[in-house]
Amino acid sequence: MINSIETSDWREARRRSAHDAIIDAAWSLVSEEGLAGLTLRDLAQRAGISAPTVYAYFDSKNAIYDAMFGGAAMDFAECLAEPLDYDDARAALITRASRFSQFCTDSPTRYQLLFQRTIPGFEPSPESYAPAIRALEGTREQLALNGITEARHVDMWTALITGLVDQQVSNDLGGDRWTRLIDESVDMFLTHCQPARASRKPASRPARPKGAQK
């Protein structure tokens, strides 16, 4: 990608690409067999290497899960960090919720890994977890732009949106039975939480014209 790299970076790049190839194979595998269905043998076969070779890149099976988690968390943060329409705080909030929903329904396996802790002995490392925290911070800022700052309202928001997504993923995969309710749900939420605002579309934006997202 970048011109003029040194010899040691060469090796590093090669190693990194093999590393990534294994993770790609892992995603491909779990998308078919489920998260718990990941085995080193199958993974190695799909990656075109032998099982022990995997250990040249990862210390353990959980290290593979952690790398998957870390990558997914970064994708997640990136997905939500893309610029929004700052002229309409409400529209931006809906967009954000839709992106979250889209991200989750795009890959239920990824959703399961990131948001439902279901793998027996696995806990993500703090490094892998960090981007997810950044994303929540972004949510908080986005809500603040809508005049919502109370902690309990932020909690209501996360419950509302994850509830919709969870129902969608659990009970209507591939459909839109719940995700299509995002608009109305956000309306309901804003009408309830926005303090002294009668109509839905805010006439004046609350402070801060830039820098909401990353």
Partner DNA sequence: GTCTATAGCTGGATAGAC
Partner DNA sequence: GTCTATCCAGCTATAGAC
CA dist 87 and 47 (Å) reads 47
Q: How far is CA 124 from CA 33, 38, 42, 58, in A?
A: 21, 17, 23, 15
Residue from the set 32, 34, 60, 163 that interacts with DNA by CB under 7 A: 60
Q: Quote the tokens at residue 163.
A: 């509830």
Binding mask 171-190 for a copy of itself (x = CB under 8 A): ------xx--x--xx-xxx-
Q: Which stretch binds DNA (CB under 7 A): 44-52, 69-77, 134-142, 203-211?
A: 44-52
Binding flag, residue 40, DNA (CB under 7 A): yes
First to last CA, the chain: 25
Given DNA, a copy of itself, none, residue 60, with its beta carbon under 5 to 8 Å by kind, binds DNA
Shortest spacing between CB 23 and a copy of itself, in angstroms: 22
CA dist 171 and 68 (Å) reads 25
Q: How far is CA 2 from CA 5, 7, 19, 48, in A?
A: 7, 13, 19, 27
Residues found near DNA in the complex (CB under 7 A): 11, 15, 18, 38-42, 44, 48-53, 55-57, 60-62
Residues found near a copy of itself in the complex (CB under 8 A): 34, 36-37, 112, 115-118, 120, 152, 155-156, 158-164, 166-167, 170, 177-178, 181, 184-185, 187-189, 191-193
